[in-house]
Amino acid sequence: MGLFGTKKIGKYEIGRTIGEGNFAKVKLGYDTTNGTYVAVKIIDKALVIQKGLQSQVQREIRTMKLLNHPNIVQIHEVIGTKTKICIVMEYVAGGQLSDKLCRHKMKESDARKLFQQLIDAVDYCHNRGVYHRDLKPQNLLLDSKGNLKVSDFGLSAVPKSGDMLSTACGSPCYIAPELIMNKGYSGAAVDVWSCGVILFELLAGYPPFDDHTLVVLYKKILRADYTFPPAFTGAQKKLIFNILDPNPQRRMKLAEIIIQDSWFKLGYIPAYHQVPDSIKESVAEINAATASSNFINAFQIIAMSSDLDLSGLLEEQDVKIYKTKIGSKNTAQETIKKIEAAATYVSLSVERIKHFKVKIQPKEIRSRSSFDLLSAEVIEVTPTNCVIEISKSPGELRLYMEFCQSLSSLLTAEVS
């Protein structure tokens, strides 16, 4: 094969890189036994262990093995070497849906077909207790026939019965309002919201919520502040309006979309009429395997911008609790030192209460352990990127704002 060199993993010849992340590369593979192409996700085992991401990798593998649907990327097998974990997956040749959109709307019939396939796949996942939590055009692939394939289950969650999820995930334009509020949420409702945003983008060529400033973007999402293009039909508007309800309790359910909506039902042929009993894996086993994990999520990644400050947004929701997320392009240890320096600059003292969590107080009342002015926790995203989450207890706002400004200026100065 001209595209492939001599490198081989099992029965697969390994070719060019078709995707790359912090801990993994995705290579084009060739199955020498049947002549088909595959995608091989090659994960650096040492980095995974070093960063404590074993549970996240396990979750992606287990989730993908749990699912068998024509509109979901299939996993063929997992191969382990001394240094690598290789996930052999279905190769989807058509690329990302985001590349096809590129600010150009689709024909209504094409948009409907892709939306039907998306809803069908997501409904299948939900019926098996799996919630994607990061649905966006970049995670939706197209095969050579233009059919949709849902991919990237690294952020998915399989909750215990009745549980609300608490880890915020998702990408800025597509996340649901309840994720922004950092409260417990229903994974089903979050996925439905993202599907609504994707439908709008399929029909309009651009997402309903967008802004250069994240705080403004989040405010628009919280209010469901968007405008329909003039070309949208009444049926399209009705469906999107019912999905993009900022109240998850009122938000349209998947079953309501499939059974009740006339625009959706036109020409709809479900891939599965019921959830098959085959290929089932214990939800309890997946929960047990990842119960203690503190895996990275997309919300933390998008928060890495060093000028991100959500305090103004969250103040409108709760006048007693202020939270800020600030990005740091440093190691976790270096970031802690930056926090200490920023606190010293505004006459605050720092006391470590965990390895990467500190308590911050005015120096003159340090002995009063009952008084907690601020806490700052460093969440490591990659070896050289962290998110700092700063929380304020009831008390004086001035010192909180001074500290946040001091830290933000310190971090901004080093990257400018």
Using DSSP, state whether 207 is helix, strand or coil.
Answer: coil
Chain-centroid distance, C-alpha 239:
24
Active site residues: 134
Torsion of CA 9, 13, 19, 24, to 10 degrees: 10
For 38, 340, 354, 360, the CA distances from 348, given in Å and listed in that order, are 56, 9, 18, 6
Residue 308: CB atoms within 10 A of its CB come to 18
Residue 56 CB contacts under 8 Å (≥ 6 apart), including other chains: 154, 290, 293, 295, 296
Does 41 count as an annotated binding residue? yes
Distance CA 280, CA 297 (A): 26
Distance CA 56, CA 63 (A): 10
The candidate with the shortest Cα–Cα distance to 401, out of 371, 373, 365, 372, is 373
Distance CA 24, CA 87 (A): 10
Sheet holding 37-44, edge to edge: 8-9, 12-20, 24-31, 37-44, 84-90, 75-80
Torsion of CA 291, 292, 296, 299, to 10 degrees: 60
379 phi and psi angles, rounded to 5 deg: -110, 115
The candidate with the shortest Cα–Cα distance to 199, out of 239, 233, 245, 170, is 239
Using DSSP, state whether 326 is helix, strand or coil.
Answer: strand
Question: Binding site residues, as ranges?
Answer: 41
Question: Binding site residues for ATP, as ranges?
Answer: 41
